[in-house]
Amino acid sequence: MIQLKKISKTFHTKTKKVHALKNVSLEVKKGEIFGVIGYSGAGKSTLIRCVNLLEKPTNGEVYVNGSKLNTMSAEQLRETRKKIGMIFQGFHLLKTATVFDNIAIPLKLTGVPKREIPNRVQKYLAVVGLEDKQDVYPDQLSGGQKQRVAIARALSHEPEVLLSDEATSALDPETTESILDLLAKINREFGITILLITHEMHVIQKICDRVAVMENGEIIEQGNVIDLYSEPKQATTKKFINSLFPSDLPDETLKELQKRGPIITLTFVGSSAGKPALSMASKKFDVHANILSGNIIQLKDKPFGRLIAHLEGEPEETNKVRQFLANEGVQVEEVSFDDN
Amino acid sequence: MIISKVIAFFDKWGDVIWEATLETFQMGSISLIISVIIGLPLGILLVLTRPGKSLENKYIHFLLNILINIIRSIPFIILLFLLLPFTKFIVGTSIGVKGVIVPLVVYTAPYIARLMESALLEVNRGILEAYEAMGIKTKDIIWHVMVREARPSIILALTIAIIGLIGATAMAGLVGAGGLGDVAYRFGHLRYELDVMYVSIVLLVVLIQVIQSIGNHLAALLKKD
């Protein structure tokens, strides 16, 4: 649905060149929710703005729904943009217009027949749950409600793709949840493909099917959310995932424990998250398992858990435990201190 | 006693003052309309030709800036005489209400352009981008988003411009265009009819107060936050 091929973007400031994007390629499939995560300055905002050419890439090609955007005339680009919705961190509504007009004015300006406009506005305000706010001005709305209006405005053009530029970053956690639920619903019910960028892991795990991690203008890793969570390869990806499993265990303690047996990380994906595998292992073998920290989170459609445990026992026995756990579908990895 | 004095005063001067008030309105409104027609597009052009904006063009931007600054450096009373030949060329005369409109417009339009520029720059760039992303034409974005969102500031800016304009019309008497300022000067100062001067000044004060109040009120109505 969206294809970015070898996109580069260089900004020229007075004193130097900034390479915001370096040879980035990305493909978003029809109907999926694709997330791009990175710290600020990673280039993710530039990346999403390249999809509808708000930012013209220095090099590379942009395809949306099969057509190439780079070589389009201004008129063709406008037509194509009508089918690419976009929502922003700052909502970007007209302050001087009512909720109704905020949706109706763009419809009018893009040539939707006058008779149809009120129906469309009402239909999509109902989708976002704001039917009763038609005549209110944006400043009387909460942040979450403003974002809902912005979503209704985007949906009212009946787009095939929705781009979300940090749409939940200005919202409190509870409102973020409800907006994410809404985005998931839109994806499900209207089949709209969503590309979103965020710096919050939470957003990725809650609604995304696939994810790309960006750093210094490059995509350093991408794949299914589950795969990336269970086997992150790059340091930055690991850092993002570790942030979900806070374990401030003091190094001294860990070193002390390590003398009496290995410290391991157990990663559970899907059905294995519900199994008492570790408890079974310690019953079966001559090993004492001591859980140091742990957490289970809910990914879009599967639970995902991680435990850090200390196995106390003879190496022979602890190895058996590791083998047993692996057979139970649990990923086991020994903790080494050097890489965090 | 006082009442009979007032009646006597208006018997004598009523016509003159009434006529002067009308002249002030006439000069003010005609010049204002023409100045807005010229100044608003210039203000928009100033914003759009800025670096990073959709019609970025440093030459046009630079030229406009210089031109506006030059005109704005010249006091109106000098401009009035400087423009005499030009005025005559444009409207065929350089005296009377007709003759003063040209210098008033030349004086006010660049001022309005500047005021419009700052009003339009207040509009959040993100909103413009959101509309660009929806596939909306630049001219529609200018009119339906930029100008629309800036309306409260535009109204306040116009209020300031109108008040400046009325100040300038006071000097129009020098080319025989009349107006309240002219009456205050000619009768009040030159012929030492102090009453006439005071009444003219009070009328000017009331006029300015009313205009400022209307401007504030309109801006508040349009502003929704």
What SS3 class is residue A28?
strand
**Residue numbers in A near B151 (CB within 8 A):** 96
% of chain B beyond a pLDDT of 90: 48
C-alpha distances in Å from residue B75, one per residue of B95, B107, B201: 19, 9, 22
Q: Is the model's pLDDT at A4 over the cut of 70?
A: yes
pLDDT in tens, B123-144: 998 999 999 999 999 999 999 9
User: pLDDT band for position A337 (50/70/90)?
Assistant: low
Q: What is the pLDDT of residues B10-62, one digit of tens each?
A: 888 888 888 888 888 888 999 999 999 999 999 999 999 988 777 788 899 99
Helices (H), chain A: 44-51, 74-81, 99-109, 117-127, 143-155, 173-190, 201-207, 225-230, 235-242, 251-258, 277-284, 315-327
For the cut 60, the answer to whether the pLDDT of residue A340 exceeds it is no
% residues pLDDT > 70 (chain A): 98
The predicted-structure confidence for A78-117, as pLDDT tens digits, reads as follows 999 999 999 999 999 999 999 999 999 999 999 999 999 9
Decide if A156 contacts A163 (C-beta within 8 A). Answer: no
* Nearest-angstrom CA–CA distance, A65 and A29: 10
Helix (H) or strand (E) holding A3: strand A2-12
Three-class SS of residue B197? helix
Nearest CA in chain B to A77: B135
> What is the pLDDT averaged over residues B73-83?
89
The share of chain A scoring above pLDDT 90, in percent, equals 55
Tokens of B67: 């031109």
The minimal CB distance from A52 to the residues B133, B136, B148 is found for: B133
Ordered DSSP codes for A117-154: HHHHHHHHHHHTT-GGGTT--GGGS-HHHHHHHHHHHH
> Which residues of chain A make contact with B132, given a CB cutoff of 8 A?
54, 81
Beta-sheet pairing, A288-298 with A303-312: antiparallel
3-state class (DSSP) for residue A38: strand
pLDDT, mean of residues A280-302: 85
How far is residue A211's CA from residue B190's CA, in Å, rounded to a whole number? 84
Q: Would you report the helix, strand and coil content of chain A in percent, each value rounded to 5?
A: 40, 30, 30
> Do B140 and A93 count as a contact with CB atoms less than 8 A apart?
no
Asked whether the predicted pLDDT for residue B1 surpasses 80, the reply is: no
> What pLDDT, in 10s, does the model give residues A242-260?
888 776 778 788 888 888 8
| Start-end of H helices in A243-335 | 251-258, 277-284, 315-327
Q: Hunting for tokens 């990806």 — which residue is that?
A: A237
Helix pair angle (B148-169, B194-222), 10° resolution = 170
Using a CB–CB cutoff of 8 Å, tell me whether B225 touches chain A.
yes
Domain boundaries, chain B: 2-222
How far off is chain A from B43, nearest CA to CA, in Å? 21
**What's B174's DSSP letter?**
G
Residues A224, A233: Cα–Cα separation, whole Å:
13
Q: How does the average pLDDT of chain B come out, rounded?
A: 88
Over range A207-219, report the average pLDDT: 93
Q: What confidence score (pLDDT) does residue B223 get? A: 84
Split at pLDDT 50, 70, 90, the class of B171 is confident
Domains of chain A: 2-241 (3.40.50.300), 251-334 (3.30.70.260)
Is A267 strand, coil or helix? strand
Of the two residues A212 and A232, the one the predictor is more confident about is: A212
Tell me, yes or no, if B144 comes closer than 8 A to chain A by beta carbon.
yes
Q: Mean pLDDT over residues B148-173, rounded? A: 90
- CATH classification code of B2-222: 1.10.3720.10
Higher pLDDT: B1 or A39? It is A39
**Residue A329 main-chain phi, psi, to 5 deg:** 90, 20
Instruction: Please give the radius of gyration of chain A, using alpha carbons only, rounded to the nearest integer.
Output: 24
pLDDT, one tens digit per residue, over A126-170 is: 999 999 999 999 999 999 999 999 999 999 999 999 999 999 998
Q: What is the pLDDT at residue A109?
A: 95
pLDDT at A306 (0 to 100): 86
Residue A20 to residue A43: CA distance in whole angstroms: 5
Which helix (DSSP H) or strand (DSSP E) does residue A8 occupy? strand A2-12
- Top mean pLDDT of A171-175, A301-305, B192-196 is at A171-175
**Mean pLDDT (whole number) for A170-189:** 93
**Chain centroid to CA B195: how far?**
29
Q: What pLDDT is recorded for position B167? A: 87
Flag if A78 and B137 touch (Cβ within 8 Å): yes
**CA distance linking residue A233 with residue A38, whole number of Å:** 15
**Orientation angle between helical segments A277-284 and A315-327, nearest 10 degrees:** 140
Q: Are A1 and A65 a contacting pair, CB within 8 Å?
A: yes
| pLDDT tens track for A45-63 | 999 999 999 999 999 999 9
pLDDT for position A325: 87
